[in-house]
Amino acid sequence: MKKALITGITGQDGSYLAELLLGEGYQVHGIVRRVALEDPQHRMWRIRHLLEDIHLHSASLESYPSLFNVVRQVQPAECYHLAAQSFVSYSFEDEFSTLNTNINGTHYMLSAIKEAAPRCRFYFAASSEMFGKAAEVPQNEQTPFHPRSSYGISKVAGFHLTRNYREAYGLHASCGILYNHESPRRGFEFVTRKISHQLARIKLGLDSQLRLGNLEAKRDWGHAADYVRAMWLMLQQEQPDDYVISTGSCHTVREFCDIAFSHAGLHYEDYVVVDERFFRPAEVDVLMGDCSKAQNVMGWNYDRSFTDLVQEMVDSDLRFVADQCRAGIGFGSQHDQSH
């Protein structure tokens, strides 16, 4: 049975990827932090339904020996490195930990694979944030990088590290340049989930406002369940390479609000308050990807509509908040809108 190792298995992408790999017949291993093992209720909600079927190992992105030991013990055929400090806003608050965790974590994983499992195929979760103040729209694999945050810088470094391990040591190492991808499992700090969750609280009478930053930012939003398939496809290719994964269209945060609130029978203008605290020191105004290479080389396609994605998230959060209310935990501040 083929073994796969996922860092960041407790996150949105990790959970969808684990499902996909189990469905493909893999033995799935995941790296989690010790705190997650100690608090599965709060930190493993996305993979609770998989816990019987997967193998979890405690290790930290900050500790090379801990990662090396897991790689040596598991001997994976494929490794998906998804773990990172992935919230762009937070990277302005703490550049140092973002750079340390993201760059060193990637470097440690690559080195551990090279030393302990050199035939393992490696996937690095790069990001459209690497394009930042993009020189062209849409962006493709040739577009120059101009990151606008330490998060973006850390991903550029990870991208170059991955490519260098491919070229210098012959590792089958690929980078997925993924654009924003969302789902009902998205973290509450990201704008889409912040909107769908707070809107559900408003609809159910628990709150009256949604405080947001830049409503004019444009993003190319896809569904995470489809994007993890692209990760898997990259490691099934004979040659390692780098691919843009995107929908090819973009929308503003304002449009997301409009569709979300309308779906719940509300008008976003009545509830959304623009709050300076949520603007970033350096914003990425527009990201939109050209995924022709992924389509032509790997046969990856995306055919969901933006509206369906928004509505799925809203419906899910309406159920989630209603369930919380029934359980008597909906009345406290589940989301203090501090992100």
Per the annotation, the verdict on 151 as an active-site residue is yes
Catalytic residue among 15, 91, 127, 183: 127
Exposure class string for 199-213: b at 16+ Cβ within 10 A, else e: bbbbbbebbeebbbb
Would you say 86 or 316 has its CB closer to ligand G4F?
86
Would you say 74 or 255 has its CB closer to ligand G4F?
255
Binding site for ligand G4F (CB under 6 A): 86, 88-89, 127-129, 179-180, 189-192, 194, 212-214, 217, 219, 253, 278, 280, 283-284, 287, 339
DSSP for 46-108?
TTGGGTTTSEEEE--TT-HHHHHHHHHHH--SEEEE--S---HHHHHH-HHHHHIIIIIHHHH
Q: How far is the CB of 9 from ligand G4F (least distance, A)?
A: 16
Would you say 120 or 284 has its CB closer to ligand G4F?
284
Q: Which amino acid is at 120?
A: C
Closest CA to 302 of 125, 168, 213, 181: 181
CB atoms inside a 10 Å sphere around CB 189: 15
Separation of CA 132 from chain center: 17
Separation between Cα atoms, residue 221 and residue 247, nearest integer Å = 7
Is the preceding peptide bond at 144 cis, omega within 30 degrees of 0?
no
Would you say 17 or 74 has its CB closer to ligand G4F?
17
Distances (CA, A) of 172 to 21, 160, 169, 264: 19, 14, 9, 46
Catalytic residue among 129, 174, 243, 316: 129
Q: How far is the CB of 139 from ligand G4F (least distance, A)?
A: 10
CB atoms inside a 10 Å sphere around CB 49: 10
Distances (CA, A) of 201 to 43, 198, 277, 324: 22, 5, 21, 10
Would you say 212 or 294 has its CB closer to ligand G4F?
212
Q: How far is the CB of 316 from ligand G4F (least distance, A)?
A: 17
For residue 76, give both structure tokens.
Answer: 């994976």
Q: How far is the CB of 128 from ligand G4F (least distance, A)?
A: 4
On whether the CB atoms of residues 203 and 324 are closer than 8 A, the answer is no
Would you say 89 or 307 has its CB closer to ligand G4F?
89
Per the annotation, the verdict on 127 as an active-site residue is yes
Q: How far is the CB of 38 from ligand G4F (least distance, A)?
A: 25
Q: Which residues contact 257 (CB under 8 A, 6 or more apart)?
A: 195, 210, 212, 215, 268, 272
Per the annotation, the verdict on 52 as an active-site residue is no
Q: Which residues are catalytic?
A: 127, 129, 151
